[in-house]
């Protein structure tokens, strides 16, 4: 008997993670256009803007007009509240473009109207969908004024509440690479390339085929709820190319002044040609590892690219970075409390220097032991302490008793006699001189204690006669 079995072919399901890059406002739209021009693979591009004219000229296929009724397609007028309201008006369309995404990069220029106001709204929508959200934003030039700088800081603070990881690029840092002959367009190209290389450094780990590939769960582990981050890419050839590429990646001059020393997560992607050796990969990875905490979560990936023959490229994304002011604020400090004790104190919410809220630093929180609960609370009470024996008269009580004992006025008979200096002794030796003259008249007999200073029930003790010339 022959059995004919027919196996139904399984439908192919694409489990590739969906990565979306959303450019918000004018700066974000320009950054997305640059990524498309650089042929970034493995991601979907979306631009969202209140300026209809700039949307028309964008390279992206998916475009969202923010606030068509509020702005009439004419922009937000450098007012973040207009950009925020425009994003809320287009919420349904924004949700539609976010559906199905696993990871979202939100790029914007902070300080204006659309990017500053709409980027936090879009980030909140992405987090509501449990999407890994990364913000990559720029800060304005110094010459753009304090008002725009304050708007940028407020927008960044609001955006950081809704993103898992935030990377900040101050435009002012372009002067570290530019010179007198650097063109205006070329300078902004530098900043756009930082955004491009940062996104590519993450996407290549998951999308590009390589010797050591990472899955999306690895990326989420390092980047989820990590706060401030930094990224960099270095490329070198020739002698010591691995070390030089790694050092270039960890010293990106365009990023905000942050330090990798406190990084809690680290993504390392090392790519090279067929001639890349294991020794060079070890050199580059260890050079980067020297900069971070020993307990940092390090995710490593590597690939071979035929186009990089003779070269090595190192990409780094360090997450969970805090400013030096924040690290100093988190260190416990010792303060004196009542009774002379010393307790640890944790400072919370101390803003960095130069921030508008620096003057309103929060008060330190005293760390006190909590009340015992559970088994500790059910233990038998301690046995009563034996009663303290009364101290003999004239002896000092222990410190614990002296702190709580009532203060009694010192009897004049027990007051220590003052030690006169030479001049006072000479004056007291002269007969008939003021107060000392009265003492000389009383020195022939015992000195009586005034009635209002006598203690009831206690006999008076005569004091010995004062010696001649002592003044007492």
Q: How far is C-alpha 121 from the geometric centre of its chain's CA atoms?
A: 22
Q: How far is C-alpha 459 from the geometric centre of its chain's CA atoms?
A: 72
Count of other CB atoms within 10 angstroms of residue 335: 12
Count of other CB atoms within 10 angstroms of residue 11: 5
CB 40 within 8 A of CB 63: no
**Full set of structural domains in the chain with CATH:** 16-207 (3.40.50.1440), 230-332 (3.30.1330.20)
Alpha helices in 209-301 (DSSP H): 216-223, 241-249, 278-289
Give the H/E segment covering residue 194.
Answer: helix 184-206
Strand partners, 65: 49
**HSE on the CB side for 219, CA within 13 Å?**
27
- For 68, list phi and psi in degrees, rounded to 5: -60, -30
Could you read off the pLDDT tens digit of each residue along the chain, which spans 472 residues? 444 544 454 544 566 889 999 999 999 999 999 999 999 988 999 999 999 999 999 999 999 999 999 999 999 999 999 999 999 999 999 999 999 999 999 999 999 999 999 999 999 999 999 999 999 999 999 999 999 999 999 999 999 999 999 999 898 988 888 888 888 888 888 878 878 887 887 887 777 767 776 778 888 988 888 888 888 889 999 999 999 999 999 887 877 766 787 788 998 999 999 999 999 999 999 999 988 888 889 988 888 888 899 999 999 988 988 654 554 444 343 333 343 443 444 434 444 444 444 444 444 444 444 455 544 445 455 555 555 555 555 554 444 444 445 555 555 555 555 555 555 455 445 554 454 444 444 445 555 555 655 555 555 555 555 555 444 4
**HSE on the CB side for 441, CA within 13 Å?**
7
Give the H/E segment covering residue 256.
Answer: none
Rg over alpha carbons for the chain, rounded to the nearest Å, is: 38
Extract the runs of DSSP E, i.e. beta strands, from 153-205.
165-170
pTM above 0.85, yes or no: no
What torsion, rounded to 10 degrees, do the Cα atoms 108, 111, 115, 117 define? 140
CB 20 within 8 A of CB 97: yes
Closest CA to 112 of 72, 139, 86, 143: 139
Please state, in angstroms and rounded to a whole number, the distance separating the CA atoms of residues 47 and 54: 10
Alpha helices in 224-367 (DSSP H): 241-249, 278-289, 324-330
């Amino acid at each position: 008997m022959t059995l004919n079995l027919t196996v139904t072919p399984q439908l192919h399901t694409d489990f590739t993670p969906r990565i979306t890059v959303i450019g918000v406002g004018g700066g974000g739209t320009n950054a997305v256009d640059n990524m498309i021009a650089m042929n970034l693979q493995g991601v979907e591009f979306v631009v969202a803007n209140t300026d209809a004219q700039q949307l028309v000229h964008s390279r992206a296929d998916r475009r969202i007009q923010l606030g068509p009724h509020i702005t009439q397609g004419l922009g937000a007028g450098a007012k973040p509240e207009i950009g925020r309201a425009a994003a809320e008006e287009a919420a349904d369309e924004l949700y539609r473009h976010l559906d199905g995404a696993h990871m979202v990069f939100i790029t914007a220029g902070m300080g204006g109207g659309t990017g500053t106001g709409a980027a936090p709204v879009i980030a909140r929508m992405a987090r509501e969908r449990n999407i890994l959200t990364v913000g990559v934003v720029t800060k304005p030039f110094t010459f753009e004024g304090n008002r725009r700088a304050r708007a940028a800081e407020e927008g960044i603070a609001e955006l950081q509440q809704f993103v898992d990881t935030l990377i900040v690029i101050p435009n002012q840092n372009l002067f570290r690479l530019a010179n007198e002959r650097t063109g205006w367009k070329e300078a902004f190209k530098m900043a756009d390339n930082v955004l491009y290389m940062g996104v590519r450094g993450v996407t290549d780990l998951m999308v590009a085929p390589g010797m050591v590939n990472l899955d999306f769960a690895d990326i989420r582990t390092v980047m989820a709820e990590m706060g401030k981050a930094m990224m960099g890419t270095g490329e070198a050839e020739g002698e010591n190319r691995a070390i030089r590429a790694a050092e270039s990646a960890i010293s990106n001059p365009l990023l905000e002044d942050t330090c990798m020393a406190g990084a809690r997560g680290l993504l390392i992607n090392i790519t090279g040609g067929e001639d890349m050796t294991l020794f060079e990969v070890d050199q580059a990875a260890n050079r980067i590892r020297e900069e971070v905490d020993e307990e940092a979560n390090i995710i490593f990936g590597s690939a071979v690219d035929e186009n990089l023959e003779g070269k090595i490229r190192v990409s780094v994304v360090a997450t969970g970075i805090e400013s030096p002011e924040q690290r100093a604020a988190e260190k416990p400090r010792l303060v004196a409390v009542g009774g002379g004790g010393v307790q640890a104190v944790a400072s919370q919410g101390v803003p960095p220097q130069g921030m508008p809220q620096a003057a309103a630093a929060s008060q330190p929180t005293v760390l006190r032991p909590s009340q015992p609960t559970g088994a500790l609370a059910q233990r038998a009470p301690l046995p009563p302490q034996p009663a303290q024996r009364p101290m003999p008269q004239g002896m000092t009580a222990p410190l614990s008793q002296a702190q709580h004992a009532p203060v009694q006025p010192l009897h004049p008979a027990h007051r220590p006699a003052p030690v006169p200096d030479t001049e006072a002794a000479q004056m007291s030796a002269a007969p008939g001189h003021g107060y000392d003259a009265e003492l000389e008249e009383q020195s022939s007999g015992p000195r009586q204690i005034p009635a209002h200073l006598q203690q009831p029930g206690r006999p008076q003790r005569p004091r010995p006669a004062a010696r001649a010339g002592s003044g007492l």
